[in-house]
Chain A
Amino acid sequence: MLLDPTSEAESTNRALTARKPSLDGLTIGLLDINKPRGDVFLDRLEQQLGRRGATVLRFAKPTFTKPAPADLRHEIATQCDAVIEALAD
């Protein structure tokens, strides 16, 4: 008889949010994780999203080496309809 070395935790499965039919009138968050040149990619996305009628809000993690702080995640969740994260380099 062996003892289980894992956490024995069960992960929760959550349903995906329904896909938005259009970008018109949506608020899209762009999250920069703070890697070099991530801003180049996100600047381009901001232009493209703006042209399609979306409002864009920019966010940044303090450092790419740590998970996004809870406050930042809360801010994005309460202000945006969707978020795009740029991993770069």
Chain B
Amino acid sequence: MTVDPGRIDALRARYDGWGLASRRVEVGSLEDEAEAMFDRGWTDGLPIVAPTEARVARMLDGTTRSPGDIVALMPPALVECTVEKVAVNAVMAGCRPEYLPVVLAALEAICTDEFNMHGVLATTMGVGPVFVVNGPIAQRIGMNAGINVLGHGNRANLTIGRAVQLVVRNVGGGRPGEIDRATHGSPAKLSFCFAEDEATSPWTTLAEDRGFARSTDVVTAFCGEAPRIVVDQRSRTADSLVRSLADGLRSAVSSRVVAGMDAMLVVSPEHLSRFSDAGWDRARFMEELGAHLMVDTDTIVIGAGGIEEGLPEAMAGLTLPKFRPGGLLVVHAGGPAGLFSSIVGGWLNGPMGSEPTSREITP
């Protein structure tokens, strides 16, 4: 997308006027294009690719949908967002056309009452949409599910997540310091998107766990904070490691919170091999993990341990699960070496906050 338009593009420009409806913005001959885009407030703080007619037209070749189709009502302004506007922002984020269907499905997932992108954006808590891609499309478009999966270095992972955030910013008007009121925010608010490692996993996938066929392309949106690591380099048995992961998960968001907030656990291949070697499938793992995530409320009621945050005192004397049923999303991803897993803490869950939301990715 960053090379000069070829002959076919010149013909399209001449004979169909590109068929694009967006307002044209002319950059002055003495203006620096990159600076002009910063000045207009279009960027997330990093440089963007200039959304020229040729680039946007080629981006639209990545989908069978018409440029004028409405993708969603974009929060916070709740304005109609067209496929074309998504394409403009996807160019700016650095996407290739084959990523566009993932960006469109991701936007459809977050612009729902269940996911509640308005609240996810406006909250003072440093959370944002985290996207996990399942299905054959992940490999086909070159997404990373391996080394540095939650980090840098892969164009598809980084630009898909970034494109979604740019649409919310530019089309929905969700700019930091305005409707976005996050106290600290998170580096993950720039882009947080990755693929599950399905090829080497002995387990069913996150999407299968959520009712989709393995052959279906799916994006799942989860409202989460930045990832943090659980180190366990000594556990040799499944029983030891599951206890260790539960220990890390108990403090997700705050050890004083039970059932009200979800989490995502990204299990590395080496950690997962401890469980598969012991014959544990996903269901057995979830069952064992859940058993070690029961919390004695005496330890987390208001005032316990000299801490004023906590559950009402009337809830003392109970044993409650740290996560509600379905409130822990488990994904297999990461490089082949490394005895670490990662936890992504969530936000207020369910109808009161945000529900993890999956959408099929269609051409």
Chain B interface size, under 10 / 10 to 19 / 20 to 34 / 35 or more: 35 or more
Asked if residues B171 and A3 are in contact (CB atoms below 8 Å), the reply is no
Asked if residues A2 and B171 are in contact (CB atoms below 8 Å), the reply is no
Nearest CB to that of A65 among chain B residues?
A: B119
Asked if residues A5 and B170 are in contact (CB atoms below 8 Å), the reply is yes
Please pick, from A1, A9, A65, the residue contacting B77 in the complex, using a CB distance under 8 A: A9
**Residue B27, interface by CB 8 Å:** yes
Please pick, from B33, B77, B123, B166, the residue contacting A5 in the complex, using a CB distance under 8 A: B166
Asked if residues B85 and A7 are in contact (CB atoms below 8 Å), the reply is yes
Asked if residues A3 and B53 are in contact (CB atoms below 8 Å), the reply is yes
Question: How many angstroms between the C-alpha atoms of A22 and B264 in the bound complex?
Answer: 54
Given contacts A63-B353, A66-B118, contact A5 B24 (CB under 8 A): no
Nearest CB to that of A4 among chain B residues?
A: B23
Asked if residues B173 and A7 are in contact (CB atoms below 8 Å), the reply is yes
Q: Which residues of B contact A9 (CB under 8 A)?
A: 77, 79
Asked if residues B123 and A65 are in contact (CB atoms below 8 Å), the reply is yes
**Residue B354, interface by CB 8 Å:** yes
**CB-contacts of B21-80 with A (<8 A):** 22-27, 33, 37, 42, 50-53, 56, 74, 77, 79-80
Q: Which residues of B contact A1 (CB under 8 A)?
A: 24-26, 52-53
Closest CB of chain A to B261's CB: distance in Å? 12
Question: How many angstroms between the C-alpha atoms of A76 and B131 in the bound complex?
Answer: 38
**Residue A8, interface by CB 8 Å:** yes
- Encode contact with B along A53-73: 1 for CB under 8 Å, 0 otherwise: 000000000110111000000
Closest CB of chain A to B19's CB: distance in Å? 12
Given contacts A7-B79, A9-B79, contact A63 B51 (CB under 8 A): no
Asked if residues B74 and A7 are in contact (CB atoms below 8 Å), the reply is yes
Closest CB of chain B to A65's CB: distance in Å? 3
Chain A interface size, under 10 / 10 to 19 / 20 to 34 / 35 or more: 10 to 19
**CB-contacts of A1-57 with B (<8 A):** 1-9
Asked if residues A5 and B119 are in contact (CB atoms below 8 Å), the reply is no
Given contacts A1-B52, A2-B50, A65-B119, contact A7 B24 (CB under 8 A): no
Please pick, from A7, A62, A65, the residue contacting B171 in the complex, using a CB distance under 8 A: A7
**CB-contacts of B270-303 with A (<8 A):** none
Closest CB of chain B to A60's CB: distance in Å? 13
Question: How many angstroms between the C-alpha atoms of A3 and B353 in the bound complex?
Answer: 35
Closest CB of chain B to A22's CB: distance in Å? 35
Q: Which residues of A contact B79 (CB under 8 A)?
A: 7, 9
Question: How many angstroms between the C-alpha atoms of A48 and B170 in the bound complex?
Answer: 43
Nearest CB to that of B92 among chain A residues?
A: A5
Asked if residues A5 and B89 are in contact (CB atoms below 8 Å), the reply is yes
Asked if residues B352 and A63 are in contact (CB atoms below 8 Å), the reply is yes
Nearest CB to that of B351 among chain A residues?
A: A63
**CB-contacts of B318-358 with A (<8 A):** 348, 351-354
Asked if residues A65 and B348 are in contact (CB atoms below 8 Å), the reply is yes
Q: Which residues of A contact B304 (CB under 8 A)?
A: none
Closest CB of chain A to B26's CB: distance in Å? 6
Question: How many angstroms between the C-alpha atoms of A5 and B24 in the bound complex?
Answer: 10
Question: How many angstroms between the C-alpha atoms of A4 and B91 in the bound complex?
Answer: 12
Closest CB of chain B to A79's CB: distance in Å? 25
Given contacts A2-B25, A63-B352, A65-B119, contact A7 B52 (CB under 8 A): no
Q: Which residues of A contact B170 (CB under 8 A)?
A: 5-7
Nearest CB to that of B90 among chain A residues?
A: A5
Closest CB of chain B to A71's CB: distance in Å? 14
Residues of B within 8 A of A (CB): 20, 22-27, 33, 37, 42, 50-53, 56, 74, 77, 79-81, 85, 88-89, 92, 113, 116, 118-119, 123, 166, 170-173, 348, 351-354
**10 A/B residue pairs, CB under 8 Å, sorted by A:** A1-B24, A2-B27, A2-B52, A3-B56, A4-B23, A5-B88, A6-B171, A62-B351, A65-B116, A66-B116
Residues of A within 8 A of B (CB): 1-9, 62-63, 65-67
Supplied contacts A5-B89, A6-B42, 9 more A-B pairs, CB within 8 Å: A2-B27, A2-B33, A3-B24, A4-B22, A5-B88, A7-B79, A7-B81, A63-B353, A65-B348
**8 interchain residue pairs of minimum CB distance:** A65-B119, A4-B23, A3-B22, A7-B79, A5-B170, A63-B352, A2-B25, A5-B88
